[in-house]
Amino acid sequence: MKSISAAWLSAANDDLVLILEIISNETLTHMVAFHAQQAIEKSFKALLEEREGIVPRIHTLETLLARITRYAVIDAELDLLEDLDKLYVDARYPADLGLLPDGKPTVEDAIAFNELAIYIHNKIKSVLS
């Protein structure tokens, strides 16, 4: 594995470690979602770096997923990826910090986002190993 690809995976792992520190705090569910989105994005980019030698300046998870399908089969719920994309964009603006259409993510949402991020990170790590 290229060192830059490993660096992307390491950065994704840092987001996952941070999630473990905050996931039990129900006031930080939006931050769990933000870091889950980041972990998934960085994991996808690790695979693209390794296979294509370039990392696109794209942040939309669904778009990145479409780009990596020729290299890995990721069984991900598209609804969760869509929600994470919504939260990622909104998290940049304090007035709407990490809100879904129905408001702040629930603890259950945060757990689902974390589980998805772990699954994708581990799957890509396995493909690159």
- Greater model confidence, 7 or 31: 7
Cβ burial 38-63 (10 Å sphere, 16+ → b, else e): bbbbbbbbbbbbbbeeebeeeeebee
What are the Cα distances from residue 21, in Å, to 25, 29, 69? 9, 12, 31
Q: What is the pLDDT of residue 70?
A: 94
Please write the tens of the pLDDT for every residue from 64-118. 999 999 999 999 888 999 989 887 765 555 555 555 556 788 999 999 999 999 9
Q: What is the pLDDT of residue 30?
A: 87
Q: What is the DSSP string of 107-119?
A: HHHHHHHHHHHHH
Per-residue pLDDT averaged across 10-15, rounded?
98
Task: Name the pLDDT band for 17 (thresholds 50, 70, 90).
Answer: very high
Task: List the chain domain ranges.
Answer: 3-128
Kindly indicate whether the domain formed by 3-128 is annotated with CATH number 1.20.120.330. yes
What are the Cα distances from residue 72, in Å, to 23, 65, 67, 76, 96? 28, 9, 10, 12, 34
Please write the tens of the pLDDT for every residue from 40-72. 999 999 999 999 998 999 999 999 999 999 999
